[in-house]
Structure 1
Amino acid sequence: MQQFDLVVVGSGPAGRRGAIQAAKLGHKVLVIEQGKRVGGVSVHTGTIPSKTLRETALNLTGWRERGFYGRAYRVKEEISAEDLRRRLLITLDHEVEVLEHQFARNRVQLIRGKASFLAPDTLEVVKDDGEILHVNGKSIMLAVGTKPYRPASIPFDGKAILDSDELLEIEELPRSLAVIGAGVIGIEYATIFSALDAQVTVIDPKSTILDFIDREIVEDFTYQLRDRNMKLLLGTKAEKIEKLDSGKCSITLDNGRVVVTDMVLYAAGRMGATDTLNLAAAGLEADDRGRLKVNLETFQTAVPNIYAAGDVVGFPSLASTSMEQGRIAARVAVGAMAKEPQKYFPYGIYAVPEISTCGLTEEEVKERGIPYECGIARFRETSRGHIMGLDSGLLKLIFSLKTRRLLGVHIVGEGATELVHIGQAVLNLKGTVEYFVENTFNYPTLAEAYKIAGLDAWNRMGEIKAAVAK
C-alpha cells in the first residue's frame, strides 16, 4: 500500500490548490482524479467552459459594439455550435496543460481512477484499465465538486432536454430556449443564449432571482433582460416537460400556461459528487444534496483527518473561494499555520451583463440597523463608457454614516467582475468615502465610476451632516 502525507480526491480549484500548497511545504502528495483529464468540473464543464462560451458569443455577435452600430450588427452572420466549441477546446487544452505542468513541477503524484473509502485513512482506487490500488493518507481532502441535479421526473435526452453539462455538447444552436431554474448557472446560460439571439424563457418557482445580490442591482439587471425581450416567468413551477412529435419541447406550468421551445435546459441545482465515495466506511455522512459539513475555519469534517473543500461544502461555490478553502485545508492537514482569509471576497456572476458584488447589500445594512448612505454611478456618465458605447451599467457604493467606511460595492454591467476588486481592497483595508473622492483614477476608464459614486455619496453625507447640525 502506498503511503502519502496528503491524498486529495479531485483536481478542481480546491483540490489542485490544496495539493500544490502541501507539496510546496515539502510533503508527499497524491491527487486522484476520475476524469480523463485533470481540472475537475471547473475546467471541463463549469467555470472555464461557461465563461469561454460567454466570451465567444459576445465576440462573434458583436454584442459590445451594438451600442454604436445597432442591434442588427454582427461580426459573424451565421454562428454555429462548432464556432463556440472550437474556441472552448483551445481554452481547455491550455488550462489542462498549465495544471499538469504545475503538478509535475511541484512533484504532485497523479492517479486517474475512481476513489472510495475502505477506512478513514485508506482509499481504494479503481483505474480505467481495471487495476485496483490501495492508498493510505495521513490526511485526506475531498474536493470532488458537484454534478447537475437530475430528478427522475425530467425526461433528459441529451439533445433537446439537457442539464448544464450536456449543454456544452449541443450540435446546433436553438432558436428558442427555456431555462428551468433562475440560479447563477441558469441565469448565466439564459443570458448567453439571449446574446446569441435565441428567444429565451426563464422559469422558476420563486418570485425573485439572485436573492443574495443587492436588490437595486437585480432590478437594474432584470430590466435589461426584459428590455431585450427575455421572458421571466417567476413564481411559477414547471410541472411537466415532454418532447413533441415536431421535435420541440412542451413545458406545462402549474398555472396552466404552456411554453413550447426548441430546447430545455434544466438548471435547478447541483449535487455534491459524493455518492460513489463509500462515505460510511470513513464514518462520514452527506446531506440530502450530497454535501459535506465542515468546520469553516479549518475545513475539517467530523472525522479529524478528513477535510473537504470547494463546491462539495456548499455556498458560495465559487472557483476563487474553493481555491482558498483548498489552500487552508491543506495547510491545516499537514500541520502548517493557516491565516484566516480576508473577510470580504467578491462574488461574480458571468451573465450578460456581468454582476459582481462584495460586502454588505443594502438589505443587510438595514437589517443590522446601520445608518448609511449610498453613492451611485452609471457607466454612461464616464467618458470610457461613451467611448465603448455603453448605455447601461451601474456601480453602487454603500457607506456607514458613523464611520464613513465602505460597507459594500455592487456592480452590474461591462467589466463588473474586474472592477469589483477596487472596492474589495478598500473594504478589506477599512477605507472610507474619502478614498474615492481624493484618489486619482486613470482617465478615461470605467473605474472612474468609483470616483463618481464616491462623490455622490460624499455630497449626500455632507447634506445629512449639515441637516443634523441644524
Structure 2
Amino acid sequence: MKYDIIVIGSGPGGYIAAVRASQLGKKVAIIEKYATLGGTCLNVGCIPSKALLDSSHHYYDAVHHFEEHGITVETPKIDFGKMVERKAKVVETTTGGIKYLMDKNNIDVFEGLGSFEDATHVKITKNDTTSEIIEGANIIIATGSKPSSLPFIKIDKERIITSTEALKLSEIPKDLLVIGGGVIGLELGSVYKRLGANVTVIEYMDKIVPGMDADVSKELQKVLKKQGIKFATSHKVNAVERNGDTITVKATDKKDREIEFSGDYCLVSVGRKAYTAGLGLEKVGVEVNERGQISVNDHLQTNIKNIYAIGDVVKGAMLAHKAEEEGVVVAEFLAGEKPHIDYNLIPGIVYTWPEVAAVGKTEDELKEAKIDYKSGKFSMRALGRSRASGDIDGFVKVLADKNTDEILGVHMVGARVADLIMEAAVAMEYRASAEDLARICHGHPTYSEAVKEAAKAAWDGKPLNA
C-alpha cells in the first residue's frame, strides 16, 4: 500500500504527527510494535505514574492532613492491588482514546515492528513472524526512548528495576533505594514514600533535579526531606548487588569514602536513551550522533531528505509535550506550511507535591551567557489561597532582562504549578516584560497571584504582599 506519510511509533509524538498530517489531507499509516497505542508515555510513563501519584497523594492527605481540616476518619488502609488496578484502567481508557483518534482521522494502524527496507519502504514484522511491506513518500521516526542504566548494573526486573517495573510492583517496598535524583526517581520515590516505604535517593551530582534552577533544587530537596525522603547527593554508585531479597548499593561520597545502602528494591533512574533497535537505519544510511540519537536539521529532517525524526529519539529534552510539538511541526512542514517551535519555551515539570515547573533560562544559564538580569521572588506562604489549602511550601521566581525588563525565565515550586507555568510560557511567547505580567489583574484568592507578585518583585522590587 502507498501512503503520503508513514509514522513509526505511536507515542505522543507519533500519534499527534499522524493526526495533524491527516487533518491536512495526507494519507497516513502508523506502525506500533505493541498491542496498545500510546507509547511509553501513555502505557508505562506519564499517565500511569500520574495515576499512582494522585492515588498516593489522596492516601497521604488522609493520614497526615484530614484531621487539621476537621475530618476524622478511621486509620486509612491501603489496598495496593486496587490502586494498581485503577492505574491500569486509566491507562486503558487513555490508550483507547488514541485508537479512537486513529479511526476518526482515517489513519491506518499496523501492529508490528517497523524497519526500513529502503528510504520509502517499511517492513512490518508481526509477532507471529509474518510480515508485510508498505510504501511512504515520507517517513517519520517516533520510536521514543527506553530507560538507561549503568554498565555494571544488572536490571533483573524483580528487585533491581526501572520505572517500567516500578509502575507495576505487586507490593509496596519496605526500603526503596533510588539511583538518580531526577524527575522519574523523585516522582516514583514520592509515590512509595507516601505509601509507607523508606526511600533513599542516591544522586551523583551535588543537587537533585540538576538541570533546573538552583533555588528550585534546594527548595524541593528541603520539602521532600521534610516528608521523610532521605538524600545522598554527591555520591557515585560503584556497584549494585542482590542477595535474595536484599539489594546493596555501594557508592563513594565526595570525600572518597565508601558508603553502603541496603534495601529490598532498587529503582535505577539515571535517565533514558533513544530507542532505535530494529529500525534498520543502517540500510538507508540515516545518521546518528555519539549518543545514539538520530541527527536532524531545524525541520527535524534526517540526512535522508524524506525521512524525519521526532521526540526522544532526537536531541533535546525527553518530554511528551516536546515530542507532540515536533510531530505537529513535521506534519505541517510536509503539508507546505511554515511552522515553528521555540525550544526555550518548552516547560519542564516535576509532579511531586509540591509540584515543580520551569520555563526559559535558569540563573546559572544567564550568568554563563553574561546576560544582565534581575530576579523577583515571592513565597507561596504569603498567599491567602495557599494558607486556605495548607499548601504553603514553595515560591515563584521571575528572571527578567535588567535593561529591557523582558521575562527570561520563570521557576516555580508549589501547589498546581504544573498548570500555572503556562501563564509564564504564554507571557514569554509574546515577549512580555515583568511589568506587563505584574499589571495583569489576577483572581483572588488564587495560586496565580504568586506569579503577579514575583513579576512585580522583578520589575520594581516591591511586591504588594511581602
Bin for the TM-score computed over the shorter chain: over 0.9
106-115 vs 201-210, which moves further = 201-210
Counterpart CA distance in 1 for 2:338 and 2:75 is 50
RMSD: 2.2
Partner deviation per Cα, 1:33-64 (whole Å, 9 max, x = no partner): 00111111110011111111111111122179
Q: How does 1:64-79 map to 2 (within 5 A)?
A: 66=65, 69=68, 77-79=76-78
TM-score, normalising length from structure 2?
0.92
C-alpha distance 16-81 of structure 1, shift in aligned 2 (>3 A): same
Matched letter for residue 97 of structure 2: V
C-alpha distance 76-18 of structure 1, shift in aligned 2 (>3 A): farther
Partner deviation per Cα, 1:367-393 (whole Å, 9 max, x = no partner): 333332221111111110011012312
CA shift for structure 1 position 206:
2.2
Contact 2:287 2:303 in 1 (8 A): no
Matched letter for residue 415 of structure 1: R
Contact 1:375 1:453 in 2 (8 A): yes
Determine the structure 1 residue equivalent to 2:440: 439
Partner deviation per Cα, 1:149-203 (whole Å, 9 max, x = no partner): 2456323332211111111121001121001122222222222322323211111
Contact 1:7 1:30 in 2 (8 A): yes
Counterpart CA distance in 2 for 1:75 and 1:239 is 45
Q: How does 1:179-258 map to 2 (within 5 A)?
A: 179-245=178-244, 247-254=245-252, 255-258=257-260
Contact 1:68 1:389 in 2 (8 A): no
Counterpart CA distance in 2 for 1:173 and 1:306 is 45
Matched letter for residue 286 of structure 2: L
C-alpha distance 300-66 of structure 1, shift in aligned 2 (>3 A): same
Helix, strand or coil for the counterpart of 2:210? coil
134-143 vs 225-234, which moves further = 225-234
CA shift for structure 1 position 305:
0.8
Partner deviation per Cα, 1:373-430 (whole Å, 9 max, x = no partner): 2211111111100110123121111122211222211001211111111111111112
C-alpha distance 372-271 of structure 1, shift in aligned 2 (>3 A): closer
CA shift for structure 1 position 225:
2.1
Counterpart CA distance in 2 for 1:351 and 1:391 is 15
CA shift for structure 1 position 82:
1.3
Matched letter for residue 271 of structure 1: K
Is residue 351 from structure 1 mapped to residue 352 from structure 2 by the alignment? yes
Structure 2 residues not aligned, in runs of 5+: none
Partner deviation per Cα, 1:427-462 (whole Å, 9 max, x = no partner): 111212222332211111101112222332344289
C-alpha distance 104-341 of structure 1, shift in aligned 2 (>3 A): same
Q: Percent identity?
A: 28
C-alpha distance 454-153 of structure 1, shift in aligned 2 (>3 A): closer
Determine the structure 2 residue equivalent to 1:269: 271
Helix, strand or coil for the counterpart of 1:56? helix
Determine the structure 1 residue equivalent to 2:280: 278
C-alpha distance 404-149 of structure 1, shift in aligned 2 (>3 A): closer
Helix, strand or coil for the counterpart of 1:58? helix
Determine the structure 2 residue equivalent to 1:468: none
CA shift for structure 1 position 10:
0.3
Q: How does 1:5-24 map to 2 (within 5 A)?
A: 5-24=4-23
Contact 1:62 1:73 in 2 (8 A): no
Matched letter for residue 451 of structure 1: K
91-100 vs 434-443, which moves further = 434-443
Counterpart CA distance in 2 for 1:68 and 1:289 is 51
Contact 2:166 2:188 in 1 (8 A): no
Contact 1:15 1:143 in 2 (8 A): yes
Helix, strand or coil for the counterpart of 1:426? helix
Q: How does 1:67-106 map to 2 (within 5 A)?
A: 69=68, 77-106=76-105
C-alpha distance 327-459 of structure 1, shift in aligned 2 (>3 A): closer
Partner deviation per Cα, 1:304-339 (whole Å, 9 max, x = no partner): 11100011113211111100101111222x342132
C-alpha distance 63-314 of structure 1, shift in aligned 2 (>3 A): farther
CA shift for structure 1 position 262:
1.6
Helix, strand or coil for the counterpart of 1:111? strand
CA shift for structure 1 position 66:
2.5
Determine the structure 2 residue equivalent to 1:456: 457
Counterpart CA distance in 2 for 1:418 and 1:392 is 17
Helix, strand or coil for the counterpart of 1:165? helix
Determine the structure 2 residue equivalent to 1:467: none
Counterpart CA distance in 2 for 1:187 and 1:399 is 29
C-alpha distance 161-176 of structure 1, shift in aligned 2 (>3 A): same
Q: How does 1:362-381 map to 2 (within 5 A)?
A: 362-381=363-382
CA shift for structure 1 position 131:
2.1
Helix, strand or coil for the counterpart of 1:207? coil
CA shift for structure 1 position 298:
0.7
Matched letter for residue 401 of structure 1: K
Matched letter for residue 14 of structure 1: G
Counterpart CA distance in 1 for 2:179 and 2:74 is 30
C-alpha distance 49-337 of structure 1, shift in aligned 2 (>3 A): same
Partner deviation per Cα, 1:90-145 (whole Å, 9 max, x = no partner): 21122112111111111000000011111121111111233210111111100000
Helix, strand or coil for the counterpart of 1:257? strand
Aligned to 1:292, which of 291, 294, 299? 294
Counterpart CA distance in 1 for 2:275 and 2:73 is 40
Contact 1:60 1:76 in 2 (8 A): no
Matched letter for residue 357 of structure 1: A
Partner deviation per Cα, 1:230-257 (whole Å, 9 max, x = no partner): 2221222222222224x22111223321
Determine the structure 2 residue equivalent to 1:122: 121
Helix, strand or coil for the counterpart of 2:76? coil
C-alpha distance 394-74 of structure 1, shift in aligned 2 (>3 A): farther
C-alpha distance 227-340 of structure 1, shift in aligned 2 (>3 A): same
Contact 1:162 1:266 in 2 (8 A): yes
Determine the structure 2 residue equivalent to 1:41: 40
Structure 1 residues not aligned, in runs of 5+: 463-470
Matched letter for residue 233 of structure 2: L
Counterpart CA distance in 1 for 2:446 and 2:406 is 24
Helix, strand or coil for the counterpart of 2:52? helix
